[in-house]
């Protein structure tokens, strides 16, 4: 059993009304009341997003989750297609199941696919990813002492801030936890 105090992004649990994934959460304490955990959760079966408040001591059943290494191949009108690296089985996940994680899907990248109750439900992107800059402002002499940057659009549609010297076509390493520039690849 788990409690909402143990929630973090990516926690998956079961209730009577379905299986849910925690997208974000924070603790809330009001005067003379028990602490509560407010969480934004997604129903894995329907894709519905819900913001819900939980008693901090509530007991919830964890879902049976398995991570399998898979390779992203391509996307089309049927969804995002992957290949299990152990069995070489191919499968597709819907855009609703992938959500914003689609911004981290670069062809041939190996990623973890989460299987809940024996079926693939979502993707966990790698912590660092190399991506190509598709669009950014041209070089200019800026206030480099302040360590600023300029906005850049990557080939997957992800927007990040990059240093002034990065140009279109450069490959950059991105931290997928907070969408930050790490280094030029």
Same domain for 89 and 57:
no
pLDDT of residue 88: 92
Whether pTM exceeds 0.85: no
Note whether 110 and 71 are same-domain residues. Answer: yes
Place of tokens 């076509």: 169
Residues 142/117, Cβ–Cβ less than 8 Å: no
Residue that is last in its domain, among 100, 124, 148: 124
The CATH number of the domain where 46 resides is what? 2.30.30.30
> Which of 75, 91, 124 delimits the end of a domain?
124
pLDDT tens-digit profile of 134-184?
998 886 665 555 667 888 999 989 999 988 888 898 999 999 888 888 888
pLDDT band at 47, cuts 50/70/90? Answer: confident
Same domain assignment for residues 57 and 76 = no
Average pLDDT of the chain, as a whole number: 86
Same domain for 139 and 117: no
- Tally of domains in the chain: 3
What are the structure tokens assigned to 18, written together? 């379905």
Q: Are residues 54 and 79 in the same domain?
A: no
Whether the CB-CB separation of 37 and 4 falls below 8 Å is answered with yes
Domain end position, chosen among 124, 143, 172? 124
pLDDT at 143: 55
Q: Check residues 44 and 70 and name the one with the higher pLDDT.
A: 70
Tell whether 140 and 169 lie within a shared domain.
yes
116 and 140, same domain (yes or no) = no
Same structural domain, 72 and 25: no
CATH number, position 99: 2.40.50.140
Domain range enclosing 35: 4-62
Residue 25 sits in the same domain as residue 11? yes
**Domain match, 49 and 11 both:** yes
Q: What is the DSSP string of 117-179?
A: TTEEEEEE--SEEEEEEEEEPPP----GGGT--EEEEETTS-EEEE-TT--TT-EEEEETTTT
pLDDT reported for residue 144: 59
pLDDT of residue 68: 92
Residue 88 to residues 72, 75, 84, 85, 169, Cα–Cα distance (Å): 12, 18, 5, 5, 32
Query: Is the dihedral angle over the CA atoms 149, 128, 20, 45 positive or is it negative?
Result: positive
Q: Distance between CA atoms of 70 and 149, rounded to whole angstroms?
A: 34
């Amino acid at each position: 059993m788990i409690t909402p105090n143990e929630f973090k992004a990516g926690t998956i649990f079961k209730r009577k009304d379905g299986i849910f994934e925690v997208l974000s959460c924070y603790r809330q304490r009001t005067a003379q009341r028990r602490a509560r955990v407010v969480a934004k959760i997604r129903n894995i079966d329907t894709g519905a997003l819900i913001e819900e408040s939980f008693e901090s001591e509530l007991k919830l059943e964890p879902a049976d989750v398995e991570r399998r290494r898979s390779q992203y191949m391509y996307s089309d009108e049927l969804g995002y297609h992957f290949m299990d690296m152990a069995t070489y089985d191919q499968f597709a996940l819907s855009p609703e199941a992938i959500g914003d994680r689609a911004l981290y899907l670069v062809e041939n990248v190996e990623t973890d696919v989460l299987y809940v109750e024996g079926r693939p439900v979502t993707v966990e992107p790698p912590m660092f990813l190399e991506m190509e800059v598709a669009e950014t402002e041209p070089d200019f002499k800026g206030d480099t002492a302040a360590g600023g940057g300029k906005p850049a659009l990557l080939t997957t549609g992800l927007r990040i801030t990059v240093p002034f010297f990065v140009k279109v076509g450069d490959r950059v390493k991105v931290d997928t936890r907070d969408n930050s520039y790490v280094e030029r690849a």
